[in-house]
Amino acid sequence: MPLTYVVHYSEVALKGKNRPEFVRALRRNIARSLSGLAPVVELREGRFLVTAEGGAEAVGGRLSRTFGVAWFSEVVPVGLDFGEIRAAVLDAARRSQGKSFKVEPRRSDKGYPLTSRELALRLGAAVQEETGMKVDLTHPDVVLRVDVTRFNALVYSNKTAGPGGLPVGTAGRVMHLFSGGIDSPVAAWLLMKRGCVPVYLHFYLAPTARYALESKVMKEVKVLSSYGGKSTLVLVPFAEYQLATAGGSADLEPSLFRRFMRMTAEALAPAFGAIAISTGDSLSQAASQTLWNVGSFDHGSSLPILRPLLAYDKEEIIGMARRVSTYDLSLEEYKDCCAIITRHPRTRVKSDLVDEYVTKLGLHDLVWKAIDGATLASYNPVGDVLRSSPLADSMPRPQAADPRQIYEQGAGTRSLYDRQRDSPPA
């Protein structure tokens, strides 16, 4: 039997003339998150009324991972007749098994003949008389809530917090540098909370991309997909870069590799309709993340660089990783590129020096050699469908070698991401 839920948003309600766009996006995302449960999502007077099959645990679990949802509750919809409301409230009180209560009515329909105070007094008296429960307006065992709308009354008690934030997809797409460690999944989660769609970019060390697809990297992407829906992962081989830079200055290696990653993200951005690059950097958490090295990483970029974790310390990030359910996965053994980068890098690398090595080593061409061997993977949590293919099959190599020129050429064109999105579902 289908269950009915009331779903409220908070931050979306603060938007101005573009609020309808955010509300429509949230409605789509709620329906997507409940895919397979026969959802019906209706907007009713500043709230969503959702019916879905599958049981409270399944529905509640998905709503609690839908960004833009402030809170939700299973409700009993009844008519506006006071007798119907009274019967539903009494039933909720009996099922609660509490010893104390308070009644919390709200009227979005101000034309209803009883005021909120009158509803509270009359319903409270009925509950006290029928159940023997005591009134406690400060710390009740159960809060009996009644929302009176123009269409019906919604009776419920427990409220479950959602993740809040903005609906995923309302803030654009970003190329997200994804290592598979503790930080980058949390950074992706925070980006989604602000409405972004991350396109995950991972540099792998093994001979083939299959190793990464079977590792914690893909497991983490699957967890994040439960929040953001269908995910795209680009796997770029590290071998070409490693061969070209062998024998270089070890203390410069981290900054140079980070610049190479940024350049690769920049080159790929037009194909995926991305308008920014993001990382899991936390200021001064590592030598490569000092303010000087952050500046060296950003130098010359044609795109904004987003760092959601910049001001968080490690314990705070670990706490969020546990909440997102990626922490344990992040600890799984996996040899990535960072494992062979020196542990004693310079803390103040000058941008000009990195620029010099970029030219000397021909990193612009190297970016495209790496991309030529990249793998494109897409994961759809609906049906647990994972697909992968050579990126070159979907993305022809442009003529320009400089990522800045590539972005200027590709800006405004229909992206690979759009073509993937518009393709028939599996």
pLDDT in tens, 131-155: 999 999 999 999 999 999 998 999 9
Nearest to 261 by CA among 182, 317, 341: 341
DSSP 8-class letter at 17:
T
At 275-286, the pLDDT tens digits run 999 999 988 887
Paired tokens of 328: 């344990």
**Cross-strand pairs, 156:** 145
DSSP state of 176: E
CATH level 3 topology of 173-422: Rossmann fold (3.40.50)
Q: What's the sign of the alpha-carbon dihedral 49, 51, 55, 60?
A: negative
How much is the pLDDT for 167? 95
Among the listed residues 229, 217, 349, the one whose alpha carbon sits nearest the alpha carbon of residue 295: 349
pLDDT at 59: 94
Sequence ranges of the chain with CATH classification 3.30.2130.30: 3-161
What pLDDT, on a 0 to 100 scale, did the predictor assign at position 331? 92
What mean pLDDT comes out for the span 115-126? 96
Q: Are strands 197-204 and 173-177 parallel, antiparallel or unpaired?
A: parallel
How confident is the model over 16-66, as pLDDT tens digits? 888 999 999 999 999 999 999 999 999 988 899 999 998 889 999 999 999
Identify the band that residue 248 occupies on the pLDDT scale cut at 50, 70 and 90: low
CA 355 – CA 363 distance, rounded (Å): 10
The pairing of strands 385-390 and 375-380 is antiparallel
Answer yes or no: is pLDDT of 316 > 80.
Answer: yes
Which residues in the chain are classed under CATH 3.40.50.620? 173-422
Least confident range from 76-80, 148-152, 231-235, 295-299: namely 295-299
Say how far apart CA 171 and CA 110 lie, in whole Å: 36
Rounded average pLDDT over 406-419: 46
The reported pLDDT for the residue numbered 424 is 37
* % of the chain with per-residue pLDDT over 70: 90
Distance CA 27, CA 222 (A): 22
Q: Supply the mean pLDDT for the chain.
A: 88
Here the tokens at position 157 are 């008690």
- Widest pairwise Cα distance in the chain: 85
Yes or no: say if 192 and 171 are a contact pair by the CB < 8 Å rule: no
Measured at the CA of 178, the angle between CA 230 and CA 419, to 5 degrees, comes to 35
> What is the model's pLDDT at position 419?
45
Instruction: Quote the tokens at residue 193.
Output: 């909370």
Beta bridge partners of 278: 176, 306
The mean pLDDT value for 226-231 works out to 94
Q: Which CATH architecture has domain 3-161?
A: 2-Layer Sandwich (3.30)
